[in-house]
Amino acid sequence: MVEKGRWVRIKKIVLEAGQRADRLPEETRNVPFITWVKGTLISEGNIGQEVTVKTKSGRIETGELVEADPFYEINYGEYVHELSNIGDAAREILFGGGERNE
């Protein structure tokens, strides 16, 4: 049970697959358009239940409770060796080599 007043993230379906624009690529058109919203839980609920939250901007949103106390997870992927010298190559092309002036 996630208690009232806790910072949470909900998942909300904005458009079902059949409601999406015909001009979208088929793989996009065949899945629902989903938004994720963070806010303060208005009443207690369990993960997977439909709940209502109040966002920092004061909006009231309803959706499926997916996470309590969400945090940012940023990942730029694995190291790509081929990109390790791109800065040097760009300086060579733009300025003809030499040391960087800082």
Query: Is residue 79 domain-resident?
Result: no
Distance between CA 10 and CA 55 in Å, rounded? 11
Under 8 Å between Cβ of 12 and 64: yes
Query: Is residue 54 domain-resident?
Result: yes
CATH number assigned to the domain comprising residue 41: 2.30.30.760
Banded model confidence at residue 98, pLDDT cuts 50, 70, 90: low
Domain of residue 47, residue span: 1-71
Distance between CA 99 and CA 102 in Å, rounded? 9
Query: Is residue 16 domain-resident?
Result: yes
Dihedral sign (CA 40, 38, 64, 35): positive
Number of domains within the chain: 1
19-59: per-residue pLDDT in tens? 999 999 999 999 999 999 999 999 999 999 999 999 999 99
State if pTM tops 0.85.
Answer: no
2-13: per-residue pLDDT in tens? 999 999 999 999
